[in-house]
Each structure stands twice: as structure tokens, then as C-alpha cells.
A and B are shown apart, each in its own frame.
Chain A
Amino acid sequence: MTEKEITFTVNGTERELRVEPRKLLVHAIREDLDLTGTHIGCDTGNCGACTVYKDGEAVKSCLQFAPQADGSEITTVEGMEDLPEAGMGESDLHPVQEGFHEMHGLQCGFCTPGMMLAGKALLEEHDDPSETEIRQNISGNLCRCTGYQNIVKSIEYAADVLAGREPPESPVENPSSGVEATADGGEPDGGRTDGGRPLDLTREYPRGDGDE
């Protein structure tokens, strides 16, 4: 098997690699370039964790061979902070990254890089996408925590920042917004008496017959 020499620009830096033709782009990015922010989830093209931004569009890097990236320009999650749009919001982050931070768009974080690059691709085309458009756009990205609600809000937040609109206030407690809130995204102590308190493992919790 002849190895192939490929040259491509990844996050603004030209990189040269020698790869077996059968090496997937996602493996070249993770293993050869050590950019492990791009994740491998399902291995079948379903989950979208391996989504990268390539030559102006979002693609799944597990569905192409590395030599197919020869001559291309790729942005991975590690490069988002260096894009021209970065810093347009409150922080130095890319507005999409800031959106995920502010709106609590992640739980375990595994799907986050793919979700963010899918979101970036959408916002290149629409500066004011509807909720339906956002949901359609991330239909190729699975979140195993099923945290879709806040992922949608995060992309809406980024759309506001990119279009120069005032983004919504973060519902979650974090230092950059200064807004107090409970960890579940609700209002501070809104109807709950244990909001924000550390979990007491010795406490006996009441047993309801519902699905609590």
C-alpha cells in the first residue's frame, strides 16, 4: 500500500502528513496532529461528534479518508478561538463557544465540539435562524445527555452576538454574567428550598409513588 503525502491547513497552520489511504480524516486529526478536541463517537457517521469545518462547510471527519483532505482548509474546535469572529461577545471565545458557556449548552461535553462546528456552519448562512432551523441543522449530531434544549439556546445566543443583537442573560450561575441562578437553570430558589445547596448524602429523601 502506497502511503500518501498530504498538505492541508488546520486551524490556520499548514501541516504535512504521510498517511495510509485508509486512514480516516478524524484519525489523522486526532492521532497525527494531536488535536483531540474532535471526538469519535459512533464510528458510523450517525453521531456527528467528529464534525469539523472543511472548506466552508460542516462535514463528518469519520466519513472521509485523510487523503481526501489534501489541499483543504480545516477548522477544528481548537481553532475556534482564533477565528476572526472570536471576541465579538463578552469573552475572547468564539461567539458559539461563549454561547455554550453562557447558556449551559453542555452536560458531559462529548458532543460539544461537533455541535459547535455544526452551529458555526449554520450561522455562516443565517444570522437569525429559527429554533426549527437550528434543530434541523444539528439533526446530524447526537447528544447522549439529551441536552438539546440548552444547545439550541446556545446557538441562538451566538446568533445574537454575531448579528450585533443583545444576547439573553445566562440563566446559569457563572462568574462572567454575575447572575445568580440554580444549577438546574431555574430562578434562584424558585420554588425549591434546596436550590444550590450541596447534596446531603445522609439525608433521607421522601419516596413518592410518582416518577421523581
Chain B
Amino acid sequence: MKAAPFEHHEPSSVEEAVSLLESLDEPLVLAGGQSLVPMMRFRLAVPETVVDINAIDDLDYLRETDDHLELGALARHADVERSAAVAENYGSFADCAPLVADPQIRNRGTVAGSIAQSDPKGDWGSVLLAHDGEVVAHGPDGERTIPAEEFFLLPYDNSLDDAEIITALRVPASGDDEGSAYHKLKRKVGDYAMVGVAARVRLDGDEIADASLALTAVDITNVSVPDAADHLEGEVPSGDLFERAGELAADHSNPESDEHGSAEYKENMVRVLAQRALADAVRRARTDDPAGAVGSDQTAVGDD
């Protein structure tokens, strides 16, 4: 089916994009379009106008500064996959990128677009949450930052205002004593998550100084596990500790039974994947190879 007719606008600056969003009737922002284009063709989205931000070159970057890893709104999944800075220091980003859809879609789809889509099955929200990230948004009143914790409201709904666009995603720079990982259970290569878990730990000597866990596809949005830090702080990493953290994550998850698996099964997989993600995060925090290969099943059946 064809998309319903729409006007296509291509602003060349963020300001122009925002003023278009302010003046137009029910516009939608098009970045990578890998979810939006099929939604428009199925008439699940019927915008009268589309504000295509692909010509705003200022938004096309991925950079690591002393303070942050920052992804411009046009950073594609493939840019994350190919980034040396990510491979070196941000294990969960390096794990997540190749698990999103397929190579062609990763060449076009953007990480910020995926966050804006706010699909509870989207992977990046959990990674952003686990890293205490924030969303940088531009609107008629200028720029504001929204902590990832406050961003996701409902499935496909977030705290962006109507005339606001995401210009960047930002996470605090990862120190040498930090490690993170993302584990995902899916039915086949390129599929959405049945369950996903992002973990991040900071070590102080032998002990865990700080930690976070966030979950994909087991609640109405991507969610953090609220007490993860309290639970893990000051403890020495061990299998028993990860098991208790896994129980905590499972307790906080709220999956629904569907044709792919029962709620009990998914809850159990939260428990399992949380342990694996924590173990990988700790191992990466201890080594010089923070995004090194992780050995685990990423698929429900068979292998990649």
C-alpha cells in the first residue's frame, strides 16, 4: 500500500526544522525512516507533512569527549557498529548495534530515531538507561536535556513536546574502571527483542562502586531496575551476587505472555540475561578490552 499523500520538507538547520514543526499541521519527523516508512505505508501513521532532517549535516556525528559519548540525531546504527571509540569503551553500545535489524537497515536507521520511536521492544532505550544517558532536545524555547529515566512514558510515547526534535543522545564518558554489556533474546537474526538486558558497572578495586540494569520488552517501556545500584554497591562480584541481582531484575520486570513465550519464561530469561550481562560488564571493567567478545546465546533457537 502507498503512504497517504504528504508534503515533504527538508530543512537544512535545526532552527528551520523546529519552526516547521511549530507552523505545520500534525507533522512527523523523518530521520532514518526504517520504522516510520513502513508505518506510513500501512497507514498506521498518516502525517500531512513530513519534516525530513537528513539534510541537517550538523546532526550527523558520533564523538567521544572527555565528558561524554555523544551521538548526533543522524548517527546511524552502523556508525555505532563501526566506531573505534565505542568498540574501545562502550561495551553495551558495541553489543547492541549489530543486534539491531540487518545491515541495510543499520545503514539507514538512526539511534536517536529509535529512541524517539519509544518502542518498548527497542534495544537502545535500555542501553541509554543503563548508562544514565540523556536526550538533548531542541524546541521553540531552545535546547533542553531530558534524563533517559524521565523520557519514556508509554509505548510509542515520550516526554518530547510537539515542536521538539531530538538533536543528540549523550552518555557520561566511560572510565577505565567501567564496563557494560547488552544481552538480547530474539527468535531469529534481526528480530526485535523478546527480552533484553543492559548492565553497567563501575569497580573500585575489588568492589562494585556503582551499577545499573535496564530491561527491554518486559514492561510498557524500556525500564531501569530501580534498586540495582543499592543491591550491588560495595559488594565483591561473584556468581551468587549476580544471581541475586538477576532475581531482583526478574522481580521488577513485568512481561506479558504472547505467542512467543509465557510471562514466566520471559521473567526467567530476564533473570538469566541479567546475570550474563553483569558478568560481562564486570569482566570488561577489569580488562583493557572493554568491548571484547562475549560468549553467550543471543538467539532463542540456534545461533547467528
Contacts and interface: CB of A to CB of B under 8 A. Distances in A.
B41 A60 contact: no
Given A48-B102, A48-B104, A63-B108, A140 B190 contact: yes
Interface in A91-144: 118, 121-122, 132, 135-137, 139-141
A140 B103 contact: yes
A44 interface: yes
A65 B103 CA distance: 19
B101 interface: yes
A201 interface: no
A21 B103 contact: no
Interface string B214-255: 000000000000000000000000000000000000000000
Given A45-B38, A139-B189, A51 B5 contact: no
A139 B190 contact: yes
Given A59-B107, A139-B189, A21 B8 contact: yes
Interface string A145-163: 0000000000000000000
Contacts of B101: 140
A155 to B, nearest CB: 13
Interface string B1-14: 11111111010000
Given A58-B103, A59-B107, A64 B189 contact: no
Contact of A58 (B3, B50, B107): B107
Interface in B1-60: 1-8, 10, 33-34, 37-38, 40-41, 50, 52, 54
B189 A2 contact: no
Contacts of B108: 59-60, 63-64
A20 interface: yes
The bracket for how many chain A residues form the interface is 20 to 34
B27 to A, nearest CB: 13
A71 to B, nearest CB: 9
Contacts of A118: 103-104
A48 B34 CA distance: 13
A187 interface: no
Contacts of A4: 8
Contacts of B34: 45, 63
Contacts of B107: 57-59
B50 A44 contact: no
B161 interface: no
A64 B37 contact: yes
Interface of B: 1-8, 10, 33-34, 37-38, 40-41, 50, 52, 54, 78, 98, 101-105, 107-108, 189-190, 304
13 contacts: A1-B5, A2-B7, A22-B5, A22-B40, A45-B34, A60-B105, A63-B108, A67-B8, A68-B52, A68-B54, A132-B304, A140-B104, A140-B190
Interface of A: 1-2, 4, 20-24, 43-45, 48, 51, 57-60, 62-65, 67-68, 118, 121-122, 132, 135-137, 139-141
